[in-house]
Amino acid sequence: MTDDAALNTGLLLYIPYRWLENRVFDALAKAGYDITVAQMKIVQRIGPDGTRLTDLAEQAQVTKQTAGFLVDQLEKAGWVERVPDPSDKRARLVRMSDRGKSAIPIADAAIAEIETEWEAHLGKQQMAQLRRILTKLRAITDPYA
């Protein structure tokens, strides 16, 4: 077992996130929604009105070709659809399909359950403090906030 003091802060942030992510994937799979980690990196960045492929690639930190490949897979699986961009008819937006949107409540429920478990473990005060700290940290770490 690794001494917690030897773990860097980034890893300490990543471990609970990865655990949460795995639980969300399990909940989605049980409900009949298969998706990979790479595909989820794209799905998580799709805005409510759709997002251009180039923006998805940048935000997911993958090449445009990789993003296009992942969107192709997601489109075939019924998660997303490509539609004309109303602000530029030459461009297309990637947006969630009805099937993709129907997976959101399943993921949200899994996350709510996990956060309830974390709050039970940490207590209301520490959970609220954790959220405040992470929100404050996001201001300097998330260029898309």
The per-residue pLDDT for range 13-39, each reduced to its tens digit, is 999 999 999 999 999 999 999 999 999
pLDDT per residue as tens digits for the range 69-91: 999 999 999 999 999 999 988 89
With CA atoms as reference, report the closest residue to 44 among 67, 60, 33: 60
CB 45 within 8 A of CB 56: yes
Range of the domain at 65: 4-141
Number of separate domains in the chain: 1
What single-letter DSSP state applies at residue 142?
Answer: -
pLDDT at site 2 = 63
Q: How many CA atoms, within 13 angstroms, populate the side-chain half-sphere of residue 123?
A: 3
Q: What b-and-e string marks burial along 115-134, b requiring 16 or more CB atoms within 10 Å of the CB?
A: eeebbeeeeeeebeeeeeee
CATH number of the CATH domain containing 103: 1.10.10.10
State the chain's mean pLDDT as an integer.
95
Residue 61 — φ and ψ, nearest 5°? 55, 50
Where are the extended beta strands (E) located within 1-145? 51-52, 80-85, 88-96
% of the chain beyond a pLDDT of 90: 90
63 confidence band (pLDDT: 50, 70, 90): very high
pTM for this model (two decimals): 0.86
Residue 127 — φ and ψ, nearest 5°? -65, -45
What single-letter DSSP state applies at residue 6?
Answer: G
Give the mean model confidence (pLDDT) for residues 109-126: 98
pLDDT over 90 (residue 1): no
